[in-house]
Every structure is written in C-alpha cells, then in structure tokens.
Amino acid sequence: MNGPMRLLTLLILVTLPGPLLAQEAKPPGIVTFTTREDHQNMLEQLGITKLRPGPSGNERAPNAANYDEAKANPYPDLPELLVCKDGTVVKKKEEWIARRRPEIVELFEQEVIGRVPAETPKVTWNVIEEKEIMAGEIPVIEKSLEGVVDNSSCPEIAVKIALKVGVPKNADKPVPVLIMFSFGFGGRSGRPPSPAFRPPVPNSVQADNGAGLTRGIIGLCNRGQPRKPEDWGSLRAWAWGASRALDYLESDPAIDAKKVGVEGVSRYGKAALVTMAFDERFAAALVASSGEGGAKLHRRNFGEAVESLTGSGEYHWMAGNFLKYGAAEARFGSKTAGDIPVDAHQLIALCAPRLTFISYGVPEKGDAKWLDQQGSYMATVAAQPAYRIFGVQTLGDGNLWVSDDYQKEKIPAVNEGLLDGSLAWRQHDAGHASGPNLPIFLDWAGKKFAESNSAPKP
C-alpha cells in the first residue's frame, strides 16, 4: 500500500478457555450456568423483576424499532463533556486529564462496561513458531505466539491467547501494526492491508455469551463465581486481551509500539472503541459499524436500543449494572437511557487526542439502519470539544470544519469523509464491514503519523 507510513496487520487470535480439568473439589466450586441462569442471577442481584423488551428489527412487528427521525431524540441534552461534577468548566487539557477524564472513566466502569480487577493475572508470551511467508510480493517474518495466562489462583480455568505477528523481512526500522478484532477477512469487502494474514476466524479471551462468564478471563479473576454488578463484561475483557498483546509488542524491537492501532466491526467495533478509550497506549482506532454500546448515542430512539443490550442475548458485553437501565420493574426503581450518567460521545472523547476513525456502511448494502448511522455521527460531533482542548483539529474536509452542534450538523454524503483532523468520519457505500474504509483509514493514519513525526517538539 502506498502512503507516507504503512500500518501492517496484527491479528489477535484468542482461544476459549479449555475444559475443566479433573481435580479435587474446592469449595465453593466452579459455577456452571446457562446464559438464562446467569442473566437471571444478575437480575436478582439488582432487584430487577421485569425488563422492558427491546425493539424488533422486523419493521412489520408490533414492537418494531423506530426509524422516524421526528421521534428519534426524546432526550433534550447529552451528559456534559467538559463540566466536572462540581460544576467546574474544563478549559485546559491538564484539567481534562487530571479531573474530568477520570470522572467519566469512573462512570463508564461503574455503570456501563464494568471494572477490570485491580490485579489481573500475568500473561507469559511464548513463540510457538517462526517462519518466512510471502504477503503478496513482500517477504514477511511471521511469528505464532501463545500467551499463557497465570491461572494459579484457579487452576480449573485455563486461558491461552493465540497471536500472530508479521513484520516485513527487509524492514529497516520498527514498523506500525494494527490489532484487528476480526470475524475473518472472508466476511469483509475491500482490500486488506499489505501484508495480510488470513487465519481462521478468531475466538476471544472471553466467550461471547452469558454462560461463559464464569470461565475465560472474567471467570478466572472471579475464581469461577458469577459476576457482581460492577464487574467487567466481554467488551472490556476483549479490550484486556488487546492490551496484553500490546504488552508483547512493546517488547519486540521490530515493532513501533508508539504506532499501534486497533480495529473491529460490529460487536468488535464496540470492543475496539473500548480498547482505545481505556488504554491510552494505543495510537489509532478504526471503529466500524459499532452501533448501540459503541459509537451510537444511548439517548437515541432509533433502531437498536439500550433494551437490546440488557436482554439475555447481549447483556454479557456490559457490566451487570447496565441492566438497571432496561428495567421495567425493580425494587430500587426503574431507569431509562436518559438516566445513564454517560453516553457514547464521552466514550469517543476518552480517545482524545489520539487518532479515532468512526466508520459505517449503508443500509442498502447490509449495514442495517438498526445501527443508527445518524446517531453515531451525532456522538462523533459531540465528542469534538475533548479533542480541541488538546489543540488538534477534529471533523473536517479541508473546506469545512464541523461545529459542535450535534443536533443540527448534517451527516456527510456517502463516501465523503471528514478526514483532515485527528477525529474522522466516513460512511462507505458497502455493507457491514470495515474493508471499504480500511485503506482510507491506513492512508489517513499514516499521514497523521508522518505529520506527528515532522512536527516541532515542545
């Protein structure tokens, strides 16, 4: 790929925890729940007796999701971005870093995506195989690695992370890489970066279902017991896996660990955004078709809703506390999306001032309007002040810079990206994929990295 700086591909390939090992029983023992049982357990912990049903994606169903823009914004305001809890208005980046950012992080951890334990197990990386392959016309040294997670606290649960890293054989300096949460290249359209690896579809360090919450890294940290309401969900666990891969990359002299990006589509788009927001070592993110729980505003009544995430199919992505916002009946009162103390614009803002590219396709080609492209654009617009406080440009195309008025700014035409700033938006003309925007992202990130390299040092 041409451009001032090439980002190469690094795929996180993670294996699910292995089966239980024969061993002496240790009270209280490993809990084995079905998804329904685990979901019910969390509802009982929260005193929730009934959830509101989520909207249907079937437009002919009685409870069909709303797609009428006139009804899409029932809440007048978003949570404040640059105003601290005590009312102090943040005007300097130092105030954001020291005061407002930690407040927002705390609320997301408590109410939305959950807390990573203060201490997590060590991961030991072992090189399983090293060989030379060809990626197109480029000779590449490919390493297959295994990250063994220390399970001495609960030997019954084993977690291993499989990872492949490829670096051009003739690279004369450390190279940038892109960590990809992937369903596999076969599920995407467009040209992958060069060189590209085509491994099997990866699993993650945490199962993508509620039954797996007493296994994987979450279960290991809980010694096989059910989650508490503030414990992390799968999105945060997947992000933890990406961070452990970055730990390894920082030790590899062939990698420029200051230029590592993260990418994902759909639920993995959510995970990519969470990774970027909470691990400030990541330099860039391509967040594709992420929808509710990702770049879409919770406070939008359009397509997928908060209630979609609180049902038994998707609740495991989030903290248990998030279920409160889908409760119809609860001992401690029911809440709605308007009661969530944070929203998606603040999640995007946690990535500031690093390179953040929000990507979508079009409903006509399969990137369903259920994802609410407009609501994600609104969140991206509303996140801009956090980037500007660092003195970086945000959404613009060279002729027009977008204001912060998320309720009035119009979404750009398809294939017309806003790519001149450190916060970028582009809606491509294909479906539920990052592929069409991937080469755009790589060129954009490469140029931004080059600009950063040439900028005078403070």
The answer to the question of residue 151 being in a domain is: no
Rounded Cα distance between 17 and 37, Å, is 20
- Contacting residues for 70 by C-beta, under 8 A, at least 6 apart: none
Q: What is the pLDDT of residue 455?
A: 55
pTM of the model: 0.91
The answer to the question of residue 23 being in a domain is: no
The secondary structure element, H or E, covering residue 110 is helix 101-111
Q: Is the alpha carbon torsion for 287, 292, 297, 302 positive or negative?
A: positive
Q: What is the pLDDT of residue 163?
A: 84
Check: CB of residue 115 under 8 Å from CB of residue 104: no
Number of H helices, E strands in the chain: 11, 11
Residue 441: helix, strand or coil by DSSP?
Answer: helix
The answer to the question of residue 157 being in a domain is: no
Residue 321: helix, strand or coil by DSSP?
Answer: helix
Of 51, 111, 43, 74, the C-alpha closest to 326 is: 51
The secondary structure element, H or E, covering residue 256 is strand 255-265
The answer to the question of residue 18 being in a domain is: no
The secondary structure element, H or E, covering residue 181 is strand 175-181
Rounded Cα distance between 422 and 455, Å, is 14
Q: What is the DSSP letter of 195?
A: S
The answer to the question of residue 203 being in a domain is: yes
Q: What is the pLDDT of residue 282?
A: 97
Find where tokens 């998030």 sit.
322
Distance of CA 249 to the CA centre of its chain: 19
Phi-psi region of 398 (alpha: psi -120 to 50; beta: other; left: phi over 0): left
Q: What is the DSSP letter of 52?
A: P
Q: What is the DSSP letter of 323?
A: G
Question: Which stretches of 283-354 are assigned E, i.e. beta strand?
Answer: 284-288, 327-330
Rounded Cα distance between 255 and 8, Å, is 10
End-to-end Cα distance, the chain: 32
Residue 200 domain boundaries: 31-120+174-454
Q: What is the pLDDT of residue 204?
A: 56
- How many folded domains does the chain comprise? 1
Check: CB of residue 444 under 8 Å from CB of residue 3: no
CA dihedral 395, 399, 403, 406 (to 10 degrees): -60
> Nearest-5° angle of CA 259, CA 260, CA 265?
135
CATH code assigned at 335: 3.40.50
- Cβ-based neighbour number of residue 5 at 10 Å: 20
Q: What is the pLDDT of residue 181?
A: 85
Q: What is the pLDDT of residue 454?
A: 59
The answer to the question of residue 149 being in a domain is: no
Do the bridges between strand 355-360 and strand 423-427 make them parallel or antiparallel, or are there none, so unpaired? parallel
The answer to the question of residue 138 being in a domain is: no
Task: Output the six-digit token pair for 170.
Answer: 């003739």
pLDDT in tens, the chain (458 residues): 444 344 444 443 333 333 333 333 454 689 999 999 999 999 999 999 999 999 999 999 999 999 999 999 999 899 999 999 999 999 999 999 999 999 999 999 999 999 999 999 999 999 999 999 988 888 999 998 889 999 999 999 999 988 888 889 999 999 999 998 864 322 233 333 333 433 323 355 899 999 999 999 999 999 999 999 999 999 999 999 999 999 999 999 999 999 999 999 999 999 999 999 999 999 999 999 999 999 999 999 999 999 999 999 999 999 999 999 999 999 988 899 999 999 999 999 999 999 999 999 999 999 999 999 999 999 999 999 999 999 999 999 987 899 999 999 999 999 999 999 999 999 999 999 999 999 999 999 999 999 987 555 44
Query: Rounded to the nearest 10 degrees, what angle do helices 267-278 and 234-250 cross at?
Result: 60
Rounded Cα distance between 430 and 270, Å, is 19
Instruction: Give whole-number Cα distances, 152 to 122, 159, 212, 276, in Å.
Output: 10, 11, 20, 30
Rounded Cα distance between 277 and 379, Å, is 14
Rounded Cα distance between 49 and 220, Å, is 29
Q: What is the pLDDT of residue 353?
A: 98
Instruction: Give whole-number Cα distances, 303 to 286, 296, 381, 386, in Å.
Output: 22, 10, 20, 27
The answer to the question of residue 427 being in a domain is: yes
CA dihedral 235, 102, 246, 440 (to 10 degrees): 80
Rounded Cα distance between 437 and 12, Å, is 20
